[in-house]
Structure 1
Amino acid sequence: MSDAVQDVYARSYAEAIATGDPFESLEASMDRFDAYLRVPGFDLVVLYSNGEPIGQAWGWPLGENTAGWDGLQLDEVDPDFTREDGTRTFGLSEIMVVREHTGRGYARMLHDELLGTRREQRATLLVDPRNERAYERYRRWGWYKVGAQQPSWKGAPTFDVLIRPLPLVPDGLDLIS
């Protein structure tokens, strides 16, 4: 499975990898992925076309002692916002589709497949605020900003923190904010 994940990452993020930014390197991303595999409840969906992996999404439930909220700066202060018990919040870590297969609804398919059967109350994800294309899609899919965060990963940028309630809206309906 790691070979498929690495292949999709390399093809999806080829431009970012080519920048030479150590955070975006294939090696750094696979090191993070290997760490994610050890998180209890890790869930992965891989999309194949003609036997070739072309997209993937993964995440995990945030546990009671999660570091997932470290460095969080909330827009509105709620002392219970970061209270986790392993069943409250699912952390959506990645959605990616290789470039030659984008624009066909595959990212939404991966999103809905990964989150569609989750039992948590809500999901969270981090998005680069400069990534307007992804940001707009997430907003259309029912996500909204609650703050900002710079994760503790070496070289990590500051991301916007988005949240959406679970379960997902029934098929065929979109939330637009």
Structure 2
Amino acid sequence: MPGNLLKNPNADEDFEHWMVIENGGDEWHIEEMSEPAFSDDSVTKYFCTSFEPCLKRQVIDLLENGYDPENLDFAQPAVTVTDWYSRQPDCGCIYKLSVALLDDKQDVIAEFSPDDVTLPDTDDCSWKQVTHTFTEYGPGLRFIFFEHGGQDTKYWKGWFGVRVTGSSVTIDV
């Protein structure tokens, strides 16, 4: 079974595999990694949002990724979601994340949608991690919905909104 089920989590392939849901302001943008450095040296790029809401998503089809439906129903393996976010220098930002486990009709079985995070312009710009593990969610898991993004808090032209990279969805088999 594959490790990270999200494709192109670090902007290495531009926006390939991502469905842009909202593309506000100056639209989504990709930038080269800068200070502060990311915890994984292999991550060299990140996605950056603008002054109006920017959201992008992937819906992962577990059967297409080789998972057996009976095993998913019986074992209900842990599903772990991780995302990294940071603000741009000189501007605050808002970070949003929503993840859901879906059945074969793409109805929600379980979801993780934490409150939006607002990073003030006094924040140190360090990369912050959010992680959640789904367990004991019941039978029927067939898809995983992953959506994230945000915007800046000063409505500045350009790409001063939240930065995201290093996203992952893994299943503990």
Point out the structure with the larger helix share: 1
Greater relative contact order, per chain length (Cα 8 Å cut-off, separation 6+)? 2
TM exceeding 0.5: no
Q: More strand per residue: 1 or 2?
A: 2
**TM superposition score normalised by structure 1:** 0.30
